[in-house]
């Protein structure tokens, strides 16, 4: 996501060549409030960047914003395929990649699993293209939601990440779809490198695949045009405290 990319770009371009504590409130807002990293300390921010920079090497296909990826391109493996970001969102295409999920065991990792399970039950009503959500075995893990200074009882982001690794390791599935803030890319890396399975990190767009609206997309004509009476907003239980700090509540 853009929060993670801007953070690691800052780390590579400035932090590594200057001494001192350079992480400030802007970085806290970008990575912690919006994407769920915590707590905000100089060593923690450094370690987060080191973690991401290590995992970048393992990406096979990357949807790019084209607003800074060139600054980490030297870390990409030689076989990586770069694609335009909308290519990871199947509802933009007449033949959606999600149609290939038919008959699979699909693990979805998201803070919105309650709504996702509810929406999947009426999948044939969500999109005009019925191939968008084919018949598959839906499995879910509710992602830790630590945006806007929520902690869910964890000491830090790294502990929360390890707890999700442990949950995933117990699951039997064919492919994972992930939308979990700053946890997303490390979770995808774990699934590929430790379990040898396919992971698709859709990020925030994961909820759209299941007909779940969000404030950020209400002003996107191409997305809003897909809304119908069967689309919903995340449930009250899926609304974290302080959500207005997350780009004005963009996912709710």
Domain housing 69: 2-83
Q: What percent of the chain has pLDDT over 90?
A: 80
Is residue 194 in some structural domain?
yes
Please tell me the distance from the alpha carbon of residue 218 to that of residue 166, in angstroms, as a whole number.
36
Instruction: Record the pTM.
Output: 0.93
Residue 237 lies in a domain: yes
Q: Would you state the pLDDT for residue 4? A: 85
Same domain, 65 and 92: no
74 by Cβ neighbours in 10 Å (0-12 / 13-18 / 19+) ranks as exposed
204 in the same domain as 103: yes
- Euclidean distance between the first and the last CA atom of the chain, given in angstroms as a whole number: 18
Same domain membership, residue 154 and residue 49: no
| Shared domain check, 61 and 152 | no
State whether 77 and 156 are in the same domain. no
In this structure, what CATH number is given to the domain that contains residue 117?
3.40.50
- From the list 40, 248, 241, 30, the residue with the least C-alpha distance to 148 is 241
pLDDT at position 216? 94
Q: How many CA within 13 A on the CB side of residue 7?
A: 30
Radius of gyration of the chain (CA): 18
For residues 100 and 207, state if they share a domain. yes
Are 138 and 166 part of one and the same domain? yes
Could you read off the pLDDT of 207-248 as tens digits, one per residue?
Answer: 999 999 999 999 999 999 999 999 999 999 999 999 999 999
Same domain as 164, residue 64: no
184 and 220, same domain (yes or no): yes
Across 15-29, 92-106, 137-151, least confident range: 15-29
End of a domain among 19, 49, 83?
83
Question: Average pLDDT of 24-32?
Answer: 92
pLDDT the model gives residue 16 = 61
Q: Domain tally for the chain?
A: 2
Same domain, 47 and 109: no
Q: In sequence order, which residues have a C-beta less than 8 Å from that of residue 84 and are 6 or more positions away? A: 63, 64, 66
Mean pLDDT of the chain: 93
Whether 251 is in a domain gets the answer: no
Q: 117 lies in a domain?
A: yes
Q: State residue 18's pLDDT score.
A: 64
Q: What is the pLDDT of residue 9?
A: 81
How far is residue 41 from each of residues 37, 38, 176, 182, measured CA to CA in Å? 10, 8, 31, 16
Answer yes or no: is 252 within a domain: no
Cα separation, 169 vs 166, in Å, equals 5
CB 35 within 8 A of CB 6: no
Residue bearing the bigger pLDDT, 98 or 20: 98
Query: Based on the domain organization, do 116 and 149 belong to the same domain?
Result: yes
Q: Tell me the two tokens of residue 212.
A: 């779940």
Q: Could you tell me if residue 171 is inside a domain?
A: yes
Domain end among 41, 65, 83: 83
- Chain position carrying tokens 């409030």: 33
40 with 164, same domain?
Answer: no
In this structure, is residue 250 part of a structural domain? no
Q: Are 46 and 11 in contact (CB under 8 A)?
A: yes
Of 28, 51, 83, at which residue does a domain stop?
Answer: 83
Per residue in 61-103, pLDDT (tens digit) is 988 876 556 666 677 778 888 889 899 999 999 999 999 999 9
Place of tokens 């689309």: 231
């Amino acid at each position: 996501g853009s929060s993670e990319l801007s953070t690691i770009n800052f780390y590579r371009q400035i932090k590594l060549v200057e001494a001192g504590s350079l992480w400030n409130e802007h970085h806290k807002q970008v990575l912690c409030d919006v994407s769920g990293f915590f707590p905000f300390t100089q060593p923690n921010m450094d370690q987060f960047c080191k973690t991401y920079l290590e995992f970048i090497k393992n990406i096979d296909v990357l949807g790019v914003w084209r607003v800074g990826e060139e600054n980490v391109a030297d870390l990409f493996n030689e076989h990586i395929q770069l694609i335009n970001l909308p290519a990871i969102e199947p509802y933009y295409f007449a033949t959606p990649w999600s149609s290939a999920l038919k008959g699979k065991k699909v693990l979805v990792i998201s803070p919105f699993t309650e709504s996702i399970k509810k929406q999947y039950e009426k999948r044939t009503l969500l999109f005009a293209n019925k191939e968008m959500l084919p018949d598959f075995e839906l499995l879910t893990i509710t992602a830790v939601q630590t945006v806007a200074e929520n902690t869910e009882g964890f000491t830090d982001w790294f502990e929360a990440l390890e707890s999700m690794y442990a949950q995933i390791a117990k699951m039997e599935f064919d492919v994972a779809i992930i939308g979990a803030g700053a946890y997303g890319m490390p979770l995808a890396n774990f699934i590929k490198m430790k379990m040898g399975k396919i992971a698709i990190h859709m990020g925030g767009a994961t909820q759209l695949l299941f007909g779940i609206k969000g404030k950020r997309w209400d002003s996107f004509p191409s997305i809003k045009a897909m809304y119908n009476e069967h689309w919903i907003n995340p449930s009250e239980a899926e609304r974290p405290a302080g959500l207005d700090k997350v780009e004005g509540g963009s996912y709710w």
